[in-house]
Amino acid sequence: MSIHTTASRQSTGSRESRQSRTGPGRRASSWLRRTAAPRAARVRQALPRLGDQLLALLACAVLAPVLACRALVALAVTGRCLDRMAQVGCQGRRFERLYFSGDHAGRGLASLFNVVRGEIALVGPTPRSLADSAPAWRAEVLATRPGLVSPADAQRRVAIDHEGEQSVLRAHLQRESVRGNAGVLVRSLISRALYGEQDFATPERLSFFGVDVQNVTMDAAVDWIDARTREAGPVFVPFVNPHCLNIAHTDDEYRAILQTSPYVLPDGIGLRVGCRMKRQRLVGNVNGTDLFPRLCERLAASGKGLFLLGAAEGVAQTVADNMQARYPGLNVAGARDGFFNDEEESRVIDEINASGAAVLLVAMGVPRQERWIARNLERLQVPVCMGVGGLFDFYSGNIPRAPLWLREVGLEWTWRLLQEPGRMWRRYLVGNPLFILRVRRELRAADR
C-alpha cells in the first residue's frame, strides 16, 4: 500500500514538474494523447466485434430460408422454436446461448443470433457452461470473447487435438488476424461436413479386418510406452493406417504379425473415417509423427535410451542430433541406416542390444519394418520396438511435413501424394477407396 502511495505520489510529482516545464498548448496535446489512447484501444476492441456482428447478420440474411425452415421443424416437432442454455461469456458475463429445438441437423445455427447480439464472436474458445469450474481455463476464457467456432474444433474432429483446446487457442491468439479467423471458420466447416460426430460409441479397442487397435489418446499411448520401458522382454508396437490394413486384409502373414502385438496404434485420418462408418468415435489419431517428440520428451525425463534404425545413411544420426538439441538429456543410445544385408543383420542386432536402449524405432517402410521386427523380436533385448515408416525423413528435414491447416481437414495424405506421386498414387488413390469399400463389406458381413 505504502509503496503504491509513494509511487503514485512520485508519478504525480513528476507529472506536475513536467507540466510546469511545458506551456498550455503542450498540456492540451498531452491531454488529447492520454484520452485518445484508451479510446483507440476501445475502438480496436470494438472493431472485430462489429465485424463479427455484420458478418453474422449477412449470414442470417443469406441463410434466412434455411433458418426459417429449421425454426418451423423445431416448432412442429417440439412445440417451440428455440432452446436456451446459460453460458459464460467474456468477463464472466452470463448469456443465453440459442439453439433450435429438437435434435435435427442445424440445431446450432440459431447461435448466429448470439453473434449478432455481440455475445459471442465468430471465432473464439468454446463457451463454457456455468457448471464448468476449471480455474485456469476459466481465467483465459473470461479474458477472451467465446466463439461460435473454436480454433480447436477442426483438430478435435480429426482427433489431432493432442495438446487440448487451451494450447491451440493460445497459439491462435498470438497471431490472430482476419485471415486467420476466416481460415478457422472454413476448416471448421469442412471438418464438420466430412468428419462431424454424432453420438457414437467409444469402444476401448477398434477392430479392422481382424486387427485390434487401441482407441487411446496420445497421452495414454505415451504413458503406456513409458511404463513398458520399465518391464523386461520385448514387445512390438506398430502403427496402422489404411495402407497397413489393406495389406493385412490380403496378406495373412502380415496380419498375423500385427495380431501378435498387444498395443496397435491408430495412425491417420483413414482410421477416423473407418470409425465413423462404424459409428464409433476415434479418441486420438496416434500417428508416429506426432508421437515422436512426445516420446523423446518422456525419454529425456526418464533417462531411458532410444535407438534409431532405418532410412538412408546419415538420416537417423541427423534425427538424433535434432532431437537431442530439442530435448536436452535425451539419451540416443544408437542410430544407423536401414540398408544392410542378411549377413550384417546379426551385427546390427548386437549393436542395438549393446546400446541398452529401452525403445527401438525401426524406419524401413511398411511392411518391411514389421516383418523385420517380428523376425528378430526374440533376439532384441529392447522393451519397446516400434515400426515408424518414413518418420526419420520428416524429422531429419529431408521431407517437409504437411502444413497444419491441411492436417486439420484430414488431407495430409494429399501432401504426401504430391511429394512422391509415382510411389504414392497406388497407396492413396487406389488404397483409400479400397479401404472404405472393405470396411463397408466388413460392416455388411457383421450385420448378416
Shortest Å, Cβ 244 to ligand UDP? 8
- The CA distances from residue 389 to 59, 310, 370, 386, 395, in Å, are 45, 9, 10, 10, 12
Residue nearest to ligand UDP (CB): 389
DSSP 408: H
Interface with ligand UDP in residues 320-349 (CB under 6 A) = 338-339
Comparing CA positions, the residue from 292, 296, 260, 286 lying closest to residue 377 is 260
Shortest Å, Cβ 338 to ligand UDP? 2
Interface with ligand UDP in residues 384-443 (CB under 6 A) = 389-390, 392-393
Q: How far apart are CA 148 and CA 411, in angstroms?
A: 24
Q: Are 423 and 238 in contact (CB under 8 A)?
A: no
Shortest Å, Cβ 423 to ligand UDP? 7
Comparing CA positions, the residue from 259, 237, 240 lying closest to residue 382 is 237
Instruction: Report the amino acid identity of residue 317.
Output: Q
Residue from 169, 311, 359, 374 in contact with ligand UDP (CB under 6 A)? 311
Question: Which range in 33-41, 132-140, 291-299, 305-313 contacts ligand UDP by CB under 6 A?
Answer: 305-313
Site string for ligand UDP, 68-107 (x = CB under 6 A): ----------------------------------------
- Inter-axis angle of helices 431-447 and 242-250, to 10 degrees? 60
Closest to ligand UDP by CB, 383 or 390: 390
Q: How far apart are the first and last CA of the chain?
A: 78
Closest to ligand UDP by CB, 339 or 405: 339
Shortest Å, Cβ 390 to ligand UDP? 3
Give Cα 393 to chain centroid, integer Å: 21
Residue from 275, 295, 320, 366 in contact with ligand UDP (CB under 6 A)? 366
Copy the grid coordinates of residue 411: 488431407
Residue from 81, 365, 415, 419 in contact with ligand UDP (CB under 6 A)? 365
DSSP 107: G
- Applying CB under 6 A, the residues found at the interface with ligand UDP are 310-312, 338-339, 363-366, 368, 389-390, 392-393
